[in-house]
Chains A and B, each alone.
Chain A
């Protein structure tokens, strides 16, 4: 049995589980080759978000700001935004610029779409790819900000194109290591593709001399333009609302067939991705991937006796929460809480059929905060937390160990290198989970045995 608790009756958000819309928008735009982002609003927004992204990826994160101040709130911010674009173009020479709005710009009613048209006219830049996305912080969470901006990139840049054989692979916000793994799988299958948006290099660059501000990697503008002619779109986004869905947009506007699959995490999740690839392309699964699948199965059997002792609280962006919850379920680890700070009704709907009737309750929380996650988890006897580093307080206050995955990870290094997708990635994720359970068990094993059998006997 499952329970889908919506937002609680409390008004306060105590230790938030999510960030704001423009944060997700920046991530999506950083996945486009040669792109720069300008936030239209107070400079604090861009400074705070640069700081948070830089600390997760350990990379330079340049995001411009129109630096609006009190005067701008009265007379409008067009002049500041114009100056910001001029300066960003001059110093970075970007091939694409994304303009994201903030609370301030939206509250005073800035029309950035019209501004962008006028700016292009005025500067003779009719063909310059300028993407606009209204992303007020009070709108929705960073998850919707990511998807909505990704869709806006297509709305602004994709043109009608002749049919071609490439597949569109639309991905949620996952680690650069995960993206590279998906590309490796596609490579093994000999599939031509456009992966969108691709932060695997832009936010995880090798040390190179000389250092250049811009990299040519990321999803190429030319590929984005012709995503309309692709054989099909595979969108790893089952929790995404239609109105934000890039795949749905390509289907409705250009008739590109859409396959919605979850993130390839877990046995069933990865199988579904592989089957979809085979169905569309007619290519068989290569032997090397079949071996990886076999090793995952072997490892799952080895670990099941430990995993079944786990009672997990899973939280973060809806797409990741969905796939990790399913992975826990297929390994006997009971998810007592599956939670997201975003307002997402689909997560609950989707998890419903995967839980057999009569099973133990799962608290599915949407629009929630860590106060609720902790309370529900503790009550249900959770002994492992899986999610981003916002959950470190669960570890500190409730003694529930945290397996870090997702974004942001600020209290450990290597969030960008965490591999969790595909058969191999799933095995690595599962090992991290199993070993955390084991480590926690062994920490107090001798003491518990002593108390239970020796002290109790005397």
Chain B
């Protein structure tokens, strides 16, 4: 099912002219005959338009920094910001030393009016002292919220002084909510500090085992990372660190020793991936652990990179065994799912990643998009030189790194690297659009109004998105699947994750609950006419 340009224009017409003009650039109907279809992304949200986007603080503390389990994450600001990011991402962590897992804590400086007037630096310093005394964390992060930057608290100076006092790393993140245009700004800010202050702080000079890798942009939602690890470790990979799901400061500081960086969520972590290559000579591979075929392809690409006979053999053995085990299980779910259609609108990578898995179940993704992605996540990294920095992106500092004299090491000959790049997505991401079929809709930063209108036109059978739009969609009689927190389910990554996802989606379609709800088009006759004795007139 597709929509026409005219139908799309009719939706946009309801907007004031200026808004319509702006939103038009954020919506594409896939047309493969055009060499490049440009989409506008990572620009300011239209005020009052009921976006799903969050703020820089959410991207920094909530997404990238928050999952590091052996750190205490201090939210410097009013109590709400801390509360709202407390355990809401469902990133799981377990720790060998249970006294060093602080993921369930919410620690705030709880700024009051007097702190806004007189400054919050002294209170922050005292909070750091109390946190060190109470928790003895391996490191501390300080995330700034809106008022902090406005009143001019120097959290970097407070962090430096406290680090001296306590002898543990204290990282300051200037991720005030108003920076940039979405969470994306916060990802960038977090990436810069983690690369600058943490990665490389460890003393290891070489990986302790063969086939050492880092997994970047994997946040262990509902245990995704654990399922991925299960397979990778069985094949023989040594995982140095995961950024940042179930990750830790202690592991992250030695991330420089890996031979390869895997990038799952390109949007939130590509800055680190790129800088690691410049600084340590470690290439990154765009992977996708969501969906059976994507998982298999990822494993094969990794084997190609390492070019080791035993590793390749083991890879194929594991793939064959896992396939034989899960295919019959998935088969029964396919019967329920086959022929259905989906909307897939998620943050900055899942809008793309889940399309393959939907397709394997026989579900056609008719609309997809991202909340806070950039053009390269849609069109591929080749557009990067064409993206002109605007006032908002210029406000986010760029970290310029150079090759680390002692630790930069080419992982293979430049010739082989260039040859490999033609074979596997090495240090490249081709974006989502290329994988979308003709006529499919691509929407950037979709809002509530557009969601409603496009649902009416395309009548998807399932809507994959987040909690804010989930209930509207369900009120419209359509099953919704939360792909931010998985509706308390998961894992959805890897082989077992694909089975879980198939089960959950099938349940969404086949729950007897839906029998009580009749879609409006079922009440209307499909054929209008009269039946006479001679037959149908």
- Contact surface of A with B, Cβ cutoff 8 Å: 10-16, 18-23, 38, 41-45, 47-52, 54-55, 58-62, 64-73, 80-81, 83-88, 90-91, 102-104, 107-108, 136-139, 141-142, 205, 207-211, 213, 341, 390, 393, 396
Question: CB distance B123 to A69 under 8 Å?
Answer: no
CB < 8 Å neighbour of A104 from B44, B83, B105, B150:
B150
Complexed CA–CA distance, A362 and B309 (Å): 70
A322 to B46, CA, bound (A): 43
Residues of A within 8 A of B448 (CB): 62, 91
Q: A60-B472, A61-B468, A83-B48 are in contact. Are A13 and B82 (CB under 8 A)?
A: yes
What residues of chain A lie closer than 8 Å to B88, measured between beta carbons?
Answer: 51
Instruction: Give the docked Cα–Cα distance between A45 and B391 (Å).
Output: 22
CB-defined interface of B100-143 with A at 8 Å, one 1/0 digit per residue? 00001111111111011000000100110011001000000000
Could you tell me if A13 and B109 are in contact, using CB atoms closer than 8 angstroms?
yes
Residue of B nearest to A42 (CB): B177
- The residue in chain B whose Cβ has the minimal distance to the Cβ of A91 is B449
A51 to B482, CA, bound (A): 12
The number of residue pairs between A and B whose CB atoms lie closer than 8 Å in the complex comes to 228
A-B pairs with beta carbons under 8 Å apart, 16 shown: A11-B126, A13-B107, A16-B79, A19-B79, A20-B81, A43-B51, A43-B53, A43-B182, A47-B51, A55-B467, A59-B471, A67-B48, A69-B180, A83-B48, A104-B177, A205-B475
Taken together as a complex, chains A and B put the C-alpha atoms of A43 and B115 apart, in Å, by: 23
Chain A residues with CB under 8 Å of B208's CB are: none
CB-CB under 8 A from B58, the residues of chain A are 44, 47-48
B49, CB-defined interface residue at 8 Å? yes
Interface presence of B151 (CB below 8 A): yes
Question: Chain B, 31-55, contact with A by CB distance < 8 Å: what is the 0/1 string?
Answer: 0000000000000111111111111
C-alpha gap A268/B363 in the complex (Å) = 59
In B499-537, which residues have CB < 8 Å from any A CB? 517-518, 520
**Chain B minimum-CB-distance residue to A109:** B150
The 8 Å CB contact of B520, one of A60, A138, A209, is: A209
Q: Is A64 in contact with B83, judged by CB distance below 8 angstroms?
A: no
Q: How far is the CA of A107 from the CA of B113 in the complex (A)?
A: 10
Chain A residues with CB below 8 A from B19, complex form: 87
Closest to A370 in B: B106
A43 touches B45 (CB 8 A): yes
Closest A residue to B125 using CB positions: A11
Shortest distance in angstroms between A82's beta carbon and chain B's nearest beta carbon?
8
Select the residue from B146, B149, B472 with max chain A CB neighbours within 10 A. B146
A52–B467 alpha-carbon span in the complex (Å): 9
The 6 A-B pairs of least Cβ separation, nearest first, read A44-B55, A20-B80, A84-B48, A87-B48, A48-B84, A42-B177
Question: Known interface pairs A107-B146, A138-B78. Does A87 touch B468 (Cβ–Cβ under 8 Å)?
Answer: no
Contacts of B77 in A (CB 8 A): 103, 137-138
13 extra interface residue pairs, beta carbon distance < 8 Å, beyond A12-B126, A137-B80: A12-B74, A20-B80, A47-B54, A61-B468, A66-B48, A67-B44, A67-B47, A85-B48, A86-B16, A87-B15, A87-B19, A208-B475, A211-B476
B231 CB to nearest chain A CB (Å) = 30
B398 within 8 A of A: no
Which among B51, B54, B83, B88 has the highest number of chain A CB atoms within 10 Å? Answer: B83
**A137 to chain B: closest residue by CB:** B78
Closest Cβ–Cβ distance, residue A396 to chain B (whole Å): 7
Distance from A298 Cβ to chain B, minimum over Cβ atoms (Å): 37
Taking the closest CB of chain B, its distance from the CB of A177, in whole angstroms, is 18
Q: Which among A52, A60, A103, A213 is the interface contact of B78 at CB below 8 angstroms?
A: A103
Residues of A contacting B311 in the complex (Cβ-Cβ under 8 angstroms): none
Q: Is the CB of A87 within 8 A of B49?
A: yes
- A13 contact set on B, CB distance < 8 A: 79, 82, 107-110
Q: Which residues of A contact B55 (CB under 8 A)?
A: 42-45, 47
> Nearest Cβ in chain A — how far from B466, in angstroms?
8
Q: Which residues of B contact A69 (CB under 8 A)?
A: 44, 178-181, 392
Residues of B within 8 A of A137 (CB): 77-81
Alpha-carbon gap, A91 to B448, bound state (A): 10
Provide the bound-state CA to CA distance between A83 and B19, in Å: 10
User: Closest chain A residue to B468 by CB distance?
Assistant: A50
Q: What chain A residues lie within 8 Å of B201 (beta carbons)?
A: none
Given A87-B19, A87-B46, A88-B48, verify A207-B83 contact (CB < 8 Å). no
Chain B positions within 8 Å of A104 at CB level: 146-147, 150, 177-178
Q: Is the CB of A19 within 8 A of B180?
A: no
